Amino acid sequence: MRVAAVRDSDGRVVANASSPFDMTGAGERRDVDFLDVESAVRNALVAVVDAVPDGLTAMSLGVAATASTVAVVDRRDGEPRGLGLMWADHRATREAAAIRSAGHPNLERMLGHVSPEWGIAKLAWLARSGAVDGASSVVVELADWLGFRASGVWAANGGTREWGWSGGDDGTVDVALVEAAGAPRSAAERVVDDVRLTGAILGVVRDGAGWPDTLLGVPVLVGGMDSYLAAVGMGAAAPGRLCLTVGSSSAAIGGLACGDANRRMFGPLRTAVPGLTDGAWQGGQTTAGLAAAWARGVLGGSGDALERAAADAPPGSRGVTFRETMLDRRNPDPRSPLRGAWTGLGLAHEPGDLYRAVLEGIAFGLAEACGGLQPTEVVATGGMLRSALFRLIVADVLGRPVARLHETTTAAAFGAAFADAPERVPDLIAVAATTEPTGADYEEAHHRYLRAELPVPDEA
């Protein structure tokens, strides 16, 4: 889904629209057509421009997109050379493992980890598979590509390069990492050289971009990763604020004022989140809402019915524990071999117990992903937060009130609109509701979850 929104000078969202696009593939393969995404963006922009009240003109165009969602395109005009690889694509598993084994210093802030989801692994996989052919071929992130298609200017987002490309502070793709994955060193040259910070001026909307004429000449901001910009849209610039996005995956982002998560969260990341110039901690789960959707499919029945049944089950799910690691794991131990599981099952258990265990498992995993931070406040958004039961479980597990962002528009779209002025956001965002902890006792259930993390030793 592509979302467009327009804000006025006071930060109010005056119009928003969305347009869907398709993702294909199954298993470890997740493909996306960049041209379909561009078409969806155009449709959303046309709808949102048509809805803008008279007298308002666009001030800038910001872009948020999933990362690392990459494709091989022609450097001259941006035309894709084939389908792109969505963030959840895991075909680069072998390359990611090889890069991890290299032990490069740039991996330290990433807990020594490289995921097959990340751009550096996908670059190596594409190069090894022969997809990066021709002198004009370049491997680009979706957000950077959309910025080019709008403005005609190539620039790579510095925060995405620091994170998913193991590029360090300057975002340079290191030849040693490419070679460690078994790809030719020339692959490191098949990327955009110019690296800029999120929110910097990239250029202006050019004639011929195919976007609404009313946007011609409007400044285009360097776009970025959706979860980072969602944190901006939740007011991450406020000292001590922890920002949670819980959708198909989850992201937990906070500044150094939230505490010290060294060796438990990614970071501190120096260029990733506008407004957190001292550095940001990042954690999260690869599967959150994806795990819940899988469980609903397995258990059957309507989602509403499962939600009601789960609400009738007691905290702790009558001894059932769920592991939400259905793909790989982000933190605090990215290299854990764990996969998803229900444990503690008995003949007396019912679907409500199992589904509540899923919601609790996602909350426990989110708490672990927060790396022991002690924020002064928690703001959250994402599809999982539409569940009142899940909000309550999260508030109890974190032991803090959870303010749910009002869904006037998506946090990522709002953050993209303020990527050049993140300090303004804390005073502008609207909270739909705040869920207070009830004091429900999850200690034993949380311990069960943590015990389930222990790998089973090999039998001698």
Strand partners, 244: 252, 380
What is the pLDDT confidence band of residue 8, given thresholds at 50, 70 and 90?
A: low
Residue 227, helix vs strand vs coil: helix
Query: For residues 282 and 269, is the Cβ–Cβ distance under 8 A?
Result: yes
- Would you say residue 440 has pLDDT above 50? yes
pLDDT for residue 58 is more than 70: no
Q: What is the pLDDT of residues 24-46, one digit of tens each?
A: 888 889 999 999 999 998 888 88
Mean local confidence (pLDDT), 323-344: 84
Whether the upstream peptide bond of residue 401 has omega within 30° of 0, thus cis, is no
**Separation between Cα atoms, residue 330 and residue 284, nearest integer Å:** 6
**CA distance linking residue 307 with residue 222, whole number of Å:** 40
Does pLDDT of 6 surpass 80? Answer: no
Per-residue pLDDT, 14: 64
What is the secondary structure of 185-219 as a DSSP string?
GGGGGSS---EE-TTSEEEEPPTTS-S-GGGTT-E
Question: Averaged over 318-323, what is the pLDDT?
Answer: 97
Is pLDDT at 458 greater than 60 in this prediction? no
Residue 428: its pLDDT value, please? 86
Confidence of residue 333 (pLDDT cuts 50, 70, 90): confident
Cβ(203)–Cβ(340) below 8 Å: no
Over residues 368-374, mean pLDDT: 95
Residue 4 confidence (pLDDT): 53
Distances (CA, A) of 425 to 85, 159, 234, 421: 32, 19, 7, 8
Q: Which residue has the tokens 């002690």?
A: 374
More confident of the two residues 458 and 55:
55
Pairing, β 224-225 against β 241-246: unpaired
Say how far apart CA 451 and CA 413 lie, in whole Å. Answer: 39
Tell me the average pLDDT of the chain: 90
Kindly state the average pLDDT of the residues 348-375: 97
pLDDT at position 45 is 85
> For residues 166 and 89, what is the distance between their CA atoms, to the nearest angstrom?
18
pLDDT recorded at residue 456: 44
pLDDT of residue 408: 67
CA distance linking residue 363 with residue 106, whole number of Å: 30
Q: d(Cα 402, Cα 405) in Å, to the nearest integer?
A: 9
Please state the pTM of the whole predicted model: 0.88
Alpha carbon distance 230, 227 (integer Å): 5
Tens-place pLDDT, residues 95-130:
999 999 988 999 999 999 999 999 999 999 999 999
Q: What percent of the chain has pLDDT over 70?
A: 93
CB atoms closer than 10 angstroms to residue 171: 24
pLDDT for the residue numbered 215: 86
Determine contact, residues 386/359, Cβ cutoff 8 Å.
Answer: no
360 and 393 in contact (C-beta within 8 Å)? Answer: yes
Q: In whole angstroms, what is the distance from residue 162 CA to residue 107 CA?
A: 10
Instruction: Please check the confidence at residue 19 and state whether its pLDDT lies above 80.
Output: no
Res. 459 pLDDT band, cuts 50 70 90: very low
Q: What's the pLDDT tens digit per position in 173-219? A: 999 999 999 999 999 999 999 999 999 999 999 998 888 888 889 88
Mean local confidence (pLDDT), 392-414: 89
Nearest to 183 by CA among 112, 126, 104, 102: 126
293-320 pLDDT, tens digit per residue, is 999 999 998 999 999 999 999 999 999 9
Q: Alpha helices, DSSP H only, in 52-118?
A: 93-102
